[in-house]
Amino acid sequence: MVEKKSELRRTRSRRAKLVKLKARLAKAKSNSERDQILKRIHRISPWWKPAPAAAAK
């Protein structure tokens, strides 16, 4: 049971970090800032990909 609790705590903290980083990514203005945030996101979740932009009409 202790292992499950520690695993849940790890997962929840990882999720909270990703939420914060995704918010920062949305507000990022320069490309270097975006790259830095993307590196941090990929360190936490290697398979994460940004949502595809809406199709241009």
Residue 52 in domain: no
Q: Is residue 11 included in any domain, yes or no?
A: yes
Neighbours of 41 (CB within 10 A): 19
Tokens of 45: 């979740």
What pLDDT digit, counting tens, does each position of 7-57 carry? Answer: 999 999 999 999 999 999 999 999 999 999 999 999 999 999 888 865 555
pTM flag (> 0.75)? yes
CB atoms within 10 A of CB 44: 13
Q: What is the DSSP letter of 47?
A: T
End-to-end CA distance of the chain: 53
Look at the chain and report how many structural domains it folds into: 1
In whole angstroms, what is the distance from residue 14 CA to residue 10 CA? Answer: 6
The confidence score (pLDDT) of residue 33 equals 95
**What residues make up the domain containing 34?**
2-44
